Amino acid sequence: MALPLLISRPRSRSAFVALAVSLGMLSSCEKLQNGVVSEIEFPEHEPRLAVNMFVSPGDSVLYATVYQSAGITDSTGSVPLKHATVALMQGSTMLAQGDSTHWADPDPWSPWSAGSLMKIALDQPLELLPGAIALVVDASPTFAPMVVTEDVPEAPVVEHLFEAYADTVDEGWGFEYYIHRLTVDLDNRPGVRDDYMVFVEFKPEESGEPGEPDPGWFNVADPAFPDPRMEFNSGCSCLLATDNGEDNVSMANLVLEAWAGDSEFPTEGSYRLRVERPTASLANHFNSVEAYYSALGNPFAEPASIQGNIPEGFGIFGVTNEVVIPL
């Protein structure tokens, strides 16, 4: 690449600057022509164990994923380790166990499908005593056996006030809709950080026709106004409330609102309040997931990594304790 350049004695400082810029461009073009761009090989990925499992007292089905991680240049992606076994232990008591017979392939038509996973049905709802609980994963000979231990959180203390059809919102043009209001009071224990996963869930009224599937529960509430103690979190798809470890932060008077329909289409079904207390590692995981998604697509954001508690691997063994209150 060459630039036409007429060199003469510069008549002024500006002309000297222009000449220097032109010579710099010529030099740069010659470097590009000779090849100053060097190729840097992408670092090789060292496969690691990737495990995810969430448990809470009262669960009747447990789900777990055990995978071998893959680098971003690997077109096949992460591989499920279907020869692996998992065990949920409390002391010497085995609460649940999963092996190759528990793997379920994803539903190809489901938009929520994220890959193969273990589905472990329990004979009776899961009971957890206070103290430590351990997840034991044996994926040998691919990886060495692994144990993750977490303490079962205390059950949250929850008080609430539910006001059905507490408000009417006029959108204009004759359209009005109704709002249910829910005020929640949570506990701030001294000397520890309190995190809460808050769900206000709605289950539509079943049609009663035979063969109709259970409609399930849907999280429907939002904060009634901006509250620094609580915000929606992408990691748990919930309202994550926290005192940030401060004893002087009240966790009372968290005000939520839920859609209640309008005069033509009132909501028909059931509401419930579900509050879970996660372990500290699980709350940190959810916050890191939120930070990760917030950084995507923002060239000025610092890249965020997702935190977990799997030793020398990826993923999270999450333990919660919950309270469910019909409204």
Q: How far apart are CA 304 and CA 307, in angstroms?
A: 9
**Is residue 264 pLDDT above 80, yes or no?**
no
Tokens 């409330």 sit on residue:
241
Name the token pair of 279.
């372990």
pTM: 0.79
Strand boundaries in the chain, DSSP class E: 49-55, 61-68, 79-80, 85-90, 93-98, 103-104, 117-121, 132-138, 146-151, 158-172, 175-186, 195-204, 218-219, 221-223, 230-233, 238-242, 254-262, 269-278, 314-326
* Residue 325 β-bridge partners: 273
Residue ranges per domain, the chain? 49-151, 158-326
The whole-number pLDDT of residue 40 equals: 67
The whole-number pLDDT of residue 17 equals: 38
Burial (CB count within 10 angstroms: exposed 0-12, middle 13-18, buried 19+), residue 133:
buried
- The CATH number of the structural domain formed by 49-151 is 2.60.40
The confidence band for 36, taking pLDDT boundaries of 50, 70 and 90, is low
For 294-325, write each residue's pLDDT tens digit.
888 777 777 778 889 999 889 999 999 999 99
**Is residue 238 pLDDT above 80, yes or no?**
yes
For 38-73, write each residue's pLDDT tens digit.
666 667 778 889 999 999 999 999 999 999 888 777
**Is residue 122 pLDDT above 90, yes or no?**
yes
Measured in residues, the chain has a length of 327
Q: What number of CA atoms fall less than 13 Å from residue 156's CA on the CB side?
A: 32
- Based on C-alpha coordinates, what's the Rg of the chain? 28
DSSP for residue 101: G
pLDDT (mean) for 259-288:
89
